[in-house]
A and B are shown apart, each in its own frame.
Chain A
Amino acid sequence: MPNLKEIKTRIKSVKNIEQITKAMQMVAAAKVRKVQEKVTSFRPFSERIEEVFKNLSTKIKNEDIKEPLLEQREIKTIGVVIITSDKGLCGSYNSNLLRFANNEIKNLESLGYKVKIWLVGNKSFGAFKYTHLEIVNKYSQLPQIPTFNEARMLKNDLIEKFLNKNIDKVLFIYTKFVSMMSFRPSILELLPINKEEKETKSMSEYIFEPDPQTLISKILPEYIENQIYRALLESSASELASRMTAMSAASKNAKEMIGALTLAYNKARQAAITKEILEVVGGAEALEK
């Protein structure tokens, strides 16, 4: 028969767990709301800059522009940036992304490319520690709600390596935020930037002030930063939403477990009482004889 005290301590510890998971769920819920707000307030800017950039790149297509970031060169080495979270307890968020990343990298390697990786988030460090892949840089302890500073930091690093011809292409592997319940590991091609091929209807002549060359080299970094920022934001939103669902499931399980344990505890208590009564009755009967 299970020990009464043992069950009691188990109930207590499960209750503790429930409290923790509940707290984490609430924290994640509050943060996810903040990130979502950021996503919505950032969207107009991001859309506009993309629009403007596309407009600009179609317009300058005919002109001779020497911009190293737009240069299409033969691709030998690919830099892959993998975005995971710093902390665990967020369901299958990290494992899904890492599995996806591994497949992609294997794919690229089988196509004969050399792959170098950038890691964002503690959870990816362990996963790629013992692989043959060259880890160029690691980032961790980024704020949970990303700001432009992190995007800028990554951008500077990547652009420098790209211009040094250390890498010929940059891919981002991040988690796309589809909805609160669904996230998808995705790939974003950051560099080189594809010039839009589609021909827009002949626009009346555009005035550029100053010349297109200067403008494009000014807007390109902004455009790249914008893309990185969006990837970071979406990843973070996915992580938090994933943690929220995982923690709410954990709280539910804990509740169920407490129920089952309480039942077992009551049964055990009842059994103990019955046993005691039997003992008393047995004793009394023995005296009567």
Chain B
Amino acid sequence: MSKLTLEVVTPEGIVFSDKVDFVSAETNVGEVGILPNHIPLFASLKMSVLSYKKDNNLDFITVMEGFLDVNNNKVTILTEIAEMAKDIDEVRAKRSKEEAEAEMMKKAGKEAFEIAKRDAIKANVRLKALEMLEKSGIYRKKQL
């Protein structure tokens, strides 16, 4: 059976590159699931969790906006920041979520609010990825 080549590329380098069976991503219009032999697709991504399946194992990657390009069984994700779910620092994500939410309550002007809101969403996405990872059962929560 043919496989998909998934590549997640950021300005800092290639985060992920492997052959996978299935990719699911959240675009600005909705969720898309991509199986091999998908027709060419170009979409913009939300700040969200991307998941892929390889040999019946699910894994997750956070993407902070960006683009998805599907062509010839090749899935390319271009994004500014991407992290493998297992590399996420839970404590840090929780803390930055709290900080961002506190910042949002301050009412320090529209711009500051927008920045804080983005940070909050970012932190939420990270936490969500961890949660999904835990649910999928291939990962046990680190003892804090």
Contacts and interface: CB of A to CB of B under 8 A. Distances in A.
User: Do A and B belong to a common assembly?
Assistant: yes
A130 interface: no
B14 A44 contact: yes
A226 B11 CA distance: 9
Chief secondary structure at chain A's binding surface: helix
B28 A45 contact: no
Contacts of B10: 45
Contacts of A207: 39-43
A107 B71 CA distance: 44
B29 interface: yes
Interface string B7-39: 101111110000000000001110010000001
A148 B81 CA distance: 12
Contacts of B12: 41-42
Given A44-B9, A44-B13, A210 B29 contact: yes
Interface residues of A, number: 26
Contacts of A206: 39-42
10 contacts: A42-B12, A44-B13, A48-B76, A203-B40, A205-B40, A206-B41, A209-B32, A215-B67, A218-B44, A222-B67
A41 B32 contact: no
B44 A204 contact: no
B78 interface: yes
A229 interface: yes
A210 B44 contact: yes
Given A203-B40, A210-B43, A218-B67, 5 more contacts: A41-B11, A44-B14, A204-B40, A209-B28, A209-B42
